[in-house]
Structure 1
């Protein structure tokens, strides 16, 4: 007859149950690391997109300012004979500039209130 002591039985049980737990712990640890890496990459991508949008807004403002300055300069030339198109374009550019500024102001307020 085979006799097993209670201590040996408990020890065998602990060893038998510890190995699968250790393997699962390792798998979960690796998975967590991959998820964190992907989150960091996504955060970097979001920051880069925000910076790109800022640059696009700034370039739009610069283009409008250049267009306005050019239109006003041409209007001052006596022999330029500006037609209504120049005046309409200038009014349109100014209108869009103000709409863009108002939109960005609203977005800033919403961002402050959402935090």
Structure 2
């Protein structure tokens, strides 16, 4: 009879170990799931921030171009070559940025 008790004790002890291990794994999965959700949220917020920064850069370029063109039209402004060079540089940068974004969009799609 004593051997049967030892055998039952071993089985019960093994079942308790299994339950504790399963609970530990469940807890870790839950923690990692929350961490993944937080990482996805941060990534989405980062994408939104980058989009807003690009929008702000485009708005600044548009404002700079409009200001330069308006100043060039004033007869008494006496624009020097710096204004023309800055306007040309801004146009080049704007097109480079647009081409870069188009290239990255194609890479994402393909």
Same fold flag (TM > 0.5): yes
Q: Distance in 2 between matches of 1:24 and 1:9?
A: 22
Alignment length (residue pairs) = 110
Q: Distance in 1 between matches of 2:108 and 2:11?
A: 54
Residues 1:75 and 2:72 aligned together? yes
Q: Which residue of 2 aligns with 1:97?
A: 94
- Kindly report the root-mean-square deviation, in angstroms, between the aligned alpha carbons of the 2 structures: 1.5
Instruction: For structure 1, list consecutive stretches of 5 or more residues without a partner in the other structure.
Output: none
Task: Give the CA deviation at 1:20.
Answer: 0.2
- Normalised to the residue count of structure 1, the TM-score between the two structures is 0.89
Match of 2:84 among 79, 84, 87: 87
Residues 1:111 and 2:108 aligned together? yes
Q: Distance in 2 between matches of 1:18 and 1:77?
A: 89
Match of 1:15 among 8, 12, 15: 12
Q: Which residue of 2 aligns with 1:64?
A: 61
The CA deviation string for residues 26-77 of structure 1, in whole angstroms up to 9 with x for no partner, is 0110011100111110110011001000000000000000000000000011
- Normalised to the residue count of structure 2, the TM-score between the two structures is 0.92
Residues 1:35 and 2:32 aligned together? yes
SS state of the match for residue 25, structure 1?
helix
Which ranges of 4 or more aligned residues in structure 1 deviate by more than 2 Å? 3-6, 8-14
SS state of the match for residue 80, structure 1?
coil
